[in-house]
Structure 1
């Protein structure tokens, strides 16, 4: 037996033992068990951590019948803290040394992720193309969940006809279209994705809505209400203070600002290395402490609502749509794209199911609502 073979056997035993603590069996029969096709898988995961796990899946080195449940078990048992945590530390150090969300490349995330193709997102999302967590209270499907989320935001902000509304990171214009049609508001949306801007302008055609292709730091004017739905994850720790100060500068004195963001349980300066490399470059999840520190002396926190468990359902619905429509997409995208996108959606679903990630809606005012803000659920 040579050294390479002995090393593989040792790493197989070690990794199998670690996974076993979460009830995951290598080459087992449960839907959350993994089936290894390439014996180099074990050394790769132990050496590369999250990157090795994700890349080896995309390359077909292993499979799992239910990836979301695999990640639920893995994260619930906190195994991510045992397998090569040094790689995550290096990622965090990289984020501190380099200003990953610097002013020099605010359009990077738009080009890398949101400009992949409207056909992909139309196939995956609801009819309004809302790419943020749905609100599943009393909802039977994705369409209803997204409709309820948009209405929830409008109710929390007490949107009224004639108001001027700013959407920071407006996506394909779904929220502003909803507001303009239902409440006759004047809307302004900003995005760093060229393709999103084109589609958003088309979707909002005929409405009092302006879509701008620009960095949020370039916004001018005053608004009665401001929303940011699923954009704050791309801001970066170094720019949190700038983000909130800009929002406050654009908000009227009696206005309200609703921030809808994924959040993490611990303060960090980076994100999962696989997600960083393949899905959302220069991204990071804020913590309660980081948001709290950044809004100090800028905003009054009126309401903080966590419905992170709803993102599990949303991601599963997105995956079902993506999987069902893959035959129509397969002619444009590489074969490995299917496995990469499946891995992305289902590992994220598992992380919300395990409560490793949260989804927060935070309502902020500049001076405090005089008679008290009444939270809506």
Structure 2
């Protein structure tokens, strides 16, 4: 068994350093002493400050924009002097000139004239106060109102009591002068039909271009190959004035099909009537509806259904737009205008489409009675 090892080495000395003692500072309190006002020893009289007022310095309470008298009064108040100048009382300029012995050469000419004129002084024959005059007028007006009781309304001989201006003359106003119905019904219906994505301003611009092309187009001629393709024109009679010339005349356009009495040669001079005549000429009178269950076994039968004026015109406008999409012109307004001119000259296939719908309606009119039998009363 190994013997334990013992360390016989000298021990190192450890140095213990005590903390240095710092002497505390003795702070002597500052004694606020109030020095007397008479340091030199002279017995001077000091005015005591009244209760409720704070002591002020030499420049406190004095504004630099004050008058000389106001500034002196402020200084006297600070120092406690009883005698101070009266601010409300002014000194005449003549007294200042006499007191200071100013030479007459340095006096302004205006003051010389006032001093030499008899009876000149500080009295004025007019008043410089505008506030007093306004107050007097207000009091006078209030007294008049109280006497009359109520303010009378303005009366004019031309307008009647209570109106400033007379009523306007409505004899020259037409029915189309309404703000929301100021356009022709056919023009508005065509404009809404060619509108895309809600852009009404672009549609109105295209409609204006269409009417301009119709106005500059040559008069329509009758096609000898198709004598039945003619517009609804009454060639007998003289040209009628434009519609709605009289504000109290009936308006045939929105309620019935318009047959114009304008001659064929003058149609382009009235583009709105020209457009209305073209649309009403190709508008179908009926539409074919397929009714199920009339023949039995689920078979459907065609039934002609009459259309109103706006429905007929809408169907004609849809046919015109469908035919205009197949043309080669780039601009929409040009395509629609050229299609309308072809219809007026009898060159469009829309005439055949209209006649086909009418032939189907005539052949299917026998199914109208069987269609009414299946309905409940």
TM-score by length of 1: 0.19
Q: What is the TM-score of this pair, normalised by structure 2?
A: 0.19
* More strand, by proportion: 1
Structure with greater helix share of residues: 1
Relative CO higher for 1 or 2, CA cutoff 8 Å, sep ≥ 6?
1
Q: For the pair shown, which has the larger CA radius of gyration, 1 or 2?
A: 2
